[in-house]
Structure 1
């Protein structure tokens, strides 16, 4: 696995992008360009964060406007997107599809067009680089939650995408695993876009976007946006925090 930084990424553009299901608006009028190295998407549960991740990744198509990732349409340019964008879901069991570690690692490389031999060699090299050569033939079912999470991250890194989306990356991980994953993520040269409801995860980030009811409520440097978000969440916590949600 190449340890050098991937080629520079032009960024992710949302142009009046929106998403609706059966007449219900989930995301609305999102217009911004994401170019910073560390970007947080912050918001309460139900604010549209995961839908935004899925929109950027091309897992759903915008019903209004458009989204581009490095000039590509993510919902259409599927193969090219493998080098542009990787996704680490909060539940590794929603991401892993093969029975053994080396098969899981080789899959994305095969999708990129590498031969079976090239993909296996790259998978084994990645495991060796991280001191996990003994994982190669292991059944994924024998790995712990944290180990499966790391496998998912490694399966992204071997494809060397320019941007990585992280969906609540520390959900269900114990504290030592969180610390290890934090260290690993901090060292990556890729652009990271972290989707979370926890502002503590975004300390030190370049930029934070606060999403509320499917719209951008605040967007700017991390520190002031996080401070305002925490203040508002404290206010909501002192009352009926869900009273503003639809009945």
Structure 2
């Protein structure tokens, strides 16, 4: 048989093997696909598509270290393959290497700007990175030697922002401790308000809430300030106190939302100070 004839037989054999591998992959028979693809790569180590498919199989079978190796071979052989870069990003992400994952998603988008999955995962990964940075900053401040009220204010902001960006952030586990350290430094913030009949019930609810804060009656704080919000919703000190009641009552997500509302209403709010309405004539 001539050399060209032998090459034709080999190529046909590879095509048939690859077709069987794709069929196994489509049927989610990953062990079979891995076996066939490994056989293909034994005879054609520069087959970028086979490396890419093998990497996918390893991802699907929770073997990210092997997926990483296969997908690195895929992008080395074919640097323009957007899907290989995307899957490599998934492998890095599974292993917690978020910066490398984001870089892979960016390369996938450079190769194929309309790659929707790469765009979606890049957005998610960048959010996770931002959440992690806030978390690390918050922990550093929270556990600094003798943190000041200013340190704890910054810590609470950072931890709340981390939890707001990523609901599964470990910052949620530190919010209660941070809140209690702030309560230990609490001071009164006078809120002068002109006495009017329209504000009478609101002021009474706020007074009950403030007194409940003093005695650490967090259920009472919640009830009183919830009532106050029914009359008007623009007071940062009300949302501030509610946040403390929520976190003490185990409602962390509500606490985060309340504190973020505080920062929307008053970005410079001092979280160590609890508002006390002072009616003036």
TM-score by length of 2: 0.23
Q: Judging by fraction of residues, say which structure has more helix.
A: 2
Relative contact order higher in (CA < 8 Å, ≥ 6 apart): 1
Q: Which has the higher strand share?
A: 1
| Larger Rg, first or second structure (1 or 2) | 2
